[in-house]
Chain A
Amino acid sequence: MAVADPVLLGAAVSRPARLRSRVRIGGWELAGLVVLALVSLVAVFAPVLAPHSTTQPVAAGPFVSPFHGALLGTDDLGRDLLSRTLYGIRSTWLSALAVVGSGIVIGTVIGSVAAMAGGVVDALLMRITDLFLALPGPVLAIVAVVALGPSLPHTLLAVAAVWWPWYARIVRGEVRALLVRPHVDAARLAGTRPIALARRHLLPGAVPAVLTTASLDIGNLVLTLAGLSFLGLGAPPPTPELGAMTANGLTYLLGQPWIALVPACAVFVLAFAANLAGDGVRDLLDAV
């Protein structure tokens, strides 16, 4: 207490967010954040950055090794691997963000309704959540592709269906913990209605936990999506996808290893950077 008290005491009002300036994160975590920032730029500007078409062969022809006419070489059909990898990153990264985003939205709604309603509604919603949690993601993706036809949105739908329950549980836990705090009673006595209560007095308190989970989660999701695509459960060819490109390259692994390794490395860098950045985000949020 004695260490903390001096920080909080004192008459001044004009000391906004003093604690924030003390936050430090490690070099690796910072590197992860920087890489992810670059990845996001690539995802947005892939059409501008890509030197060639992703579906048409380039002049250099098929099986060109890196630095011999194409920066990262070409594949078995003579398509530019750099362009295809940039588009692959775009597709994987935006898909991962979309799934996490949908998980946060659905999870927040279900979790906060369950926590605030309590009783039967809470029990019912959480059992439904458990039900979705019990579904195996890849199997659901296969079912979705078989039933609805192969396409990226169908795969994402299947993944999103098993992804939100984690967020519902986290939000419910956080909101339940906040509900017993005096500031919620005070807001109720101030006449605040349930929706405003959730929006202003409860959910902002759950943001750090949700963001921490999301940032650690997204690396996982990149691997899952690449894995599904590797199994042929993503967008149909010739759409460039990192997993599918790696699978295609395996045929030529001994003679022309770059065809598999370039997209595989992209997956590795993406997942690694996302995990490092996730640690960084957790450190930042813990310190506040």
Chain B
Amino acid sequence: MLRPPALALAATLASRAEPALTVPVRGITRTAPPPAAEPDPTGPVLDVRDLHISFPGGVHALRGVDLSVERGEVVGLVGESGSGKTVLGLAALGLLSPKAIVTGSASLAGVDMVGVDDATRREARRRHAGAVFQDPMTSLNPTMRVGRQVAEAAGSLEAAIDLLDRAGIPDPKRRVRQYPHELSGGLRQRVMIAMAIAGDPDLVVADEPTTALDVTVQAQILRLFRELRGAASSFVFVTHDLAVAREVADRIVVLYGGRVAEVGPTDAVLHAPAHPYTAALLVARLGAHSRVGEPLPTLVGEPPDPRRPAEGCAFAARCAHAEPTTCTTELPEVEAVSTSRAVACVRRTEIAAHVTELRAVETWPPEPPLTSELAVQMRGVTKGFGWGKARRVAVDALDLDVRKGSCVALVGESGCGKTTTLRMAVGLERPDSGRIEHGHGNPPQLVFQEAGASLTPWLRVGDLMQERLRNAGLPAKERDARVRDTLALVGLPDAVANARAGELSGGQRQRVALARAVLIPPSLLACDEPISALDVSLAAVVLNLLGRLRRELGMAMLFVTHDLGAARFVSDETVVMSGGVVVERGVTQEVLAAPQHDATKELLAAVPDFDAGTATEGTPS
């Protein structure tokens, strides 16, 4: 991957406690770099002015961004993959790749982090900045005890223990002697946060710090960020999820296509979005307002290609309110609409009243008729891994039925055995004991969590699809037509058949993976967390596709998720697992309305409470 080496970045951010001035080293006097100008205590902590960043190969990541972060403020930087949000965060820390082509400025406590030399930059970072990255395992040094790593930032082991305590780590005196692999994901992220707030930096940049975590852990970490707000000075919280931003941010900055689309106080932006993109994100988000049995309103089209920046508004191609002339030719400037809000849309006044309307959504055929016939029946199924003392039972004496025409949601925290159950249901794992029977029809198929990774990278999409048909014994002359028809069914052009997975966009990969699964409509379509790694707009697209295909092709569905919001939207029945056993099952609406088991209640509490009185009420129309 081209992901910045988080470990190296984390290391450059550590060792903050080292004295800043002249240090004698083995008799030689080393002169520290000239101290940076003392920050103005009243001015913004971070001041980004007209920042343009591009990379070799003509990738325009940022195209003129202004942003200021005041002292003590938490700013949520929201955007989908490719919007430039991570690059902006790295620029603020002065951690851009040396290949980046930069104009404009990004001043952190008075030091231009994209303009000055490396030594000054490093010094400013050491004194003023902290960072938390998405994956704490790759950001921590696996060969070093936690205490030593935190002490590198904190100065002493006592200070490290104090920091771990502040980051909400129970029994920090014991934890400092452990290695990162001995900690859970949530604890590791707390260690990263402890390192980031060491020495009370002026600015902490947190880049998707909760995305890799389990829902319940995510809620705890978000709570920690809220608690820390007063302690460290300012936070820039980078995320693709508006609901997460809402939990922590005072102010939200929405990025789209490398430019700011909208800025404003969190509540104001979420209650009354002014930019059509923000509005669309809110409407497309799965939540309590989403109507069961109807497609979600979605954003049409693909995210902008950073290699081919639009001449006009980057969102015009997907916008329901775009005008052919002004929007596609005129680059919208971010203009203040009130003292605290600004928006980059030339038609903001004309469309203010109906900004949450989206382009016409698709319609679904009626639900397939429910029958008593079973698509899959599992009885007393048990599966364990390992031998002897290391043996761990993943699934214990599980009974599960999926009737034809129905959709069953299998929910639970990670490690509860739901994925193992799913893999047994489609035949990828064999149970140690118990019985699994499939009903009549074509063998079951699986939609993987990472759609891109389920496509063999060196084979063309057409090859992969042909292979499936060839294996099923379909005559050669029928295969081409079937591939074309199925690609059309998921809304892809024929040309996709000639591409490899790496040449497709995220949305195209999702569609291809789905097309391959339904090429020969299976009796049971199993889905393994198909939307948990996706941006809001793409998640809506995938959920709609699944809903439509299920109805059109009459497939039963087994939908594994940790998100009860998604379960509510897609399923008729919900089965809750915990510790390898089923703890609750029933009609989805009833389970969600009156959860009986603690595990269900905990999952429900973890769904970000997003819908109370947002602008999405009453829409879609």
Q: Binding site of B, secondary structure by majority: helix, strand, loop or mixed?
A: loop
Give the distance in Å from the alpha carbon of A269 to the alpha carbon of B578 in the complex: 66
- Quote the shortest CB–CB distance from B515 to chain A (angstroms): 12
A189 CB contact (under 8 Å) in B428, B455, B504:
B428
CB-contacts of B58-112 with A (<8 A) = 59-61, 81-82, 84-87, 90, 97
Alpha-carbon distance between A149 and B599 when the two chains are bound, in angstroms: 76
Question: Does the CB pair B499–A13 fall under 8 Å?
Answer: yes
Set of chain A residues within 8 Å of B504, measured between Cβ atoms: 13
Counting CB contacts under 8 A, is A48 at the interface? Answer: no
Chain B interface residue count, Cβ-Cβ cutoff 8 angstroms = 60
Query: Given the known A-B contacts A186-B446, A192-B467, A204-B458, are A6 and B82 also in contact in the complex, defined by CB atoms under 8 Å?
Result: yes
A3 at the interface (CB under 8 A from B): yes
Contact A13 B503 (CB under 8 A): yes
B151-208 contacts to A, CB under 8 A, are none
Interface string of B376-410 (1 = CB under 8 A from A): 00000000000000000000000000000000000
> B302 an interface residue at 8 Å Cβ cutoff?
yes
Bound complex: CA A196 to CA B456 (Å): 13
B586 CB-CB contact with A under 8 Å: no
Check if A6 sits within 8 Å of B308, measured CB to CB. Answer: no
Q: A4-B2, A10-B308, A16-B503 are in contact. Are A200 and B302 (CB under 8 A)?
A: no
Of B1, B81, B87, B498, which one neighbours A13 at CB under 8 angstroms? Answer: B498
Q: Are B428 and A185 in contact (CB under 8 A)?
A: yes
7 shortest interchain CB distances as A-B pairs: A10-B305, A2-B86, A191-B471, A4-B2, A6-B306, A190-B468, A186-B454
In the complex, which residues of chain A have a beta carbon less than 8 angstroms from the beta carbon of B467? 187, 190, 192, 196, 200
Q: Which one, A9, A185, A192, A200, contacts B506 given CB within 8 A?
A: A9
Residues of B contacting A7 with CB < 8 Å? Answer: 2, 57, 59
A68: CB under 8 A from chain B? Answer: no
B60, B85, B308, B471 interface centre (most CB from chain A within 10 Å): B471
Q: Could you tell me which A residues sit within 8 Å of B by CB distance?
A: 1-16, 18, 22, 181-183, 185-193, 196, 200-201, 204-205
Q: A182-B448, A200-B459 are in contact. List 13 more A-B contacts (CB 8 A).
A: A1-B4, A1-B81, A6-B82, A6-B305, A7-B2, A7-B59, A9-B305, A9-B306, A11-B305, A13-B493, A13-B496, A13-B499, A186-B448
Given A9-B505, A10-B305, A13-B503, residue A2 in contact with residue B453 (CB < 8 A): no
Expressed in whole angstroms, the minimum distance between the Cβ of A186 and any Cβ of chain B is: 4
- Is B502's CB within 8 Å of the partner chain A? yes
Q: How far is the CB of A14 from chain B (nearest CB, A)?
A: 7
When C-beta atoms are compared, the residue in chain B nearest to A200 turns out to be B459
A201 contacts across to B, CB distance below 8 A: 456, 459
Minimal Cβ-Cβ distance residue in A for B96: A3
| Nearest CB in chain A: distance from B405 CB, A | 22
Q: Which of A3, A12, A183, A191 contacts B456 (CB 8 A)?
A: A183
Task: Specify which chain A residues have a CB less than 8 angstroms from the CB of B149 in the assembled complex.
Answer: none
- Taking CB atoms, residues of chain A closer than 8 Å to B306 are 6, 9-10
CB-CB under 8 A from B495, the residues of chain A are 13-14
- Bound CA span A181–B501, Å: 14
Q: Is B457 an interface residue (CB 8 A)?
A: yes
Query: Cα distance A10–B305 when bound, in Å?
Result: 4
Say if the beta carbon of B55 comes within 8 Å of chain A: yes
Question: What is the minimal beta-carbon distance from B111 to any residue of chain A, in angstroms?
Answer: 22
Q: A192's contact among B445, B448, B471, by CB below 8 Å, is which?
A: B471
Distance from A198 Cβ to chain B, minimum over Cβ atoms (Å): 12
In the complex, which residues of chain B have a beta carbon less than 8 angstroms from the beta carbon of A11?
Answer: 302, 305, 505, 508
Q: Does B464 lie at the interface of the complex (its beta carbon under 8 Å from any beta carbon of A)?
A: yes
**Shortest distance from the beta carbon of B424 to any chain A beta carbon, whole Å:** 13
Say whether B454 contacts A5, CB under 8 Å.
no
User: Looking at the complex, which one of B84, B302, B428 makes contact with A2 (CB distance below 8 Å)?
Assistant: B84
Residues of chain A with a CB closer than 8 A to B516's CB: 186, 190
- Number of A-B residue pairs having CB atoms within 8 Å of each other in the complex: 130
**Beta-carbon contact of B87 and A183 below 8 Å:** no
Question: In the complex, which of the residues A5, A14, A181, A192 contacts B82, with contact meaning CB atoms closer than 8 Å?
Answer: A5
Interface: B13 (CB within 8 A): no
Q: B303 to nearest A CB, angstroms?
A: 6
Report B-chain residues with C-beta under 8 Å of the C-beta of A185: 428, 446, 448, 454
Contacts of B476 in A (CB 8 A): none
Chain B residue contacts of A16, Cβ below 8 A: 503
Q: 11 A–B contact pairs at CB < 8 A? A: A1-B81, A1-B86, A5-B82, A9-B306, A10-B302, A18-B57, A185-B454, A186-B448, A189-B446, A192-B471, A200-B456
B159 → A minimal CB distance (Å): 32
Q: Which residues of B contact A191 (CB under 8 A)?
A: 443, 468, 471-472
Is B307 part of the contact surface with A, judged by Cβ < 8 Å? Answer: yes
* Chain B proximity of A171: nearest CB distance (Å): 16
Docked complex Cα distance between A15 and B445 (Å): 30
A247 to B263, CA, bound (A): 81
* CB–CB A3/B2 < 8 A: yes
The reply to whether B498 and A6 form a contact with Cβ atoms under 8 Å apart is no
Indicate whether B426 reaches chain A with its CB closer than 8 angstroms.
yes
- Chain A residue nearest in CB terms to B86: A2
Contact A189 B445 (CB under 8 A): yes
Q: Are B2 and A183 touching (Cβ within 8 A)?
A: no
Chain A residue numbers with a CB within 8 Å of B82 are 2, 5-6, 9
B55 in contact with A3 (CB, 8 Å): yes
Q: What's the Cα separation between A138 and B1 when bound, in Å?
A: 42
The 0/1 profile, CB within 8 Å of A marked 1, for residues 295-335 of chain B is: 00000001111111000000000000000000000000000
Contacts of B3 in A (CB 8 A): 1, 3-4
Contact of B505 among A2, A10, A189 (CB under 8 A): A10
Residues B489-531 near A (CB distance < 8 A): 493, 495-496, 498-499, 502-506, 508, 513, 516
Of B55, B427, B457, B506, which contacts A183 at CB under 8 A? B457
Q: Are A22 and B426 in contact (CB under 8 A)?
A: no
Closest chain-B Cβ to A246's Cβ sits at a distance in Å of 44
Q: Name B421-460 residues within 8 Å CB distance of A.
A: 426-428, 443-446, 448-450, 453-459
| Cα A164 to Cα B464 with chains together (Å) | 32
Cα distance A200–B455 in the bound complex, in angstroms: 12
B464: chain A residues within 8 A (beta carbon): 187, 190
Task: State A11–B57 Cα separation when bound (angstroms).
Answer: 17
Q: How far is the CA of A74 from the CA of B306 in the complex (A)?
A: 66
A9 to B82 CA separation, bound complex (whole angstroms): 7
Residues on the A chain within 8 Å of B498, using CB: 13
CA distance A11 to B301 in the complex (A): 9
Closest Cβ of chain B to A181, distance in Å, is 6
Partner among A2, A18, A204 whose Cβ is within 8 Å of the Cβ of B87: A2
Residues of B within 8 A of A10 (CB): 302, 304-308, 505
Evaluate contact between A8 and B426: CB separation under 8 angstroms: no
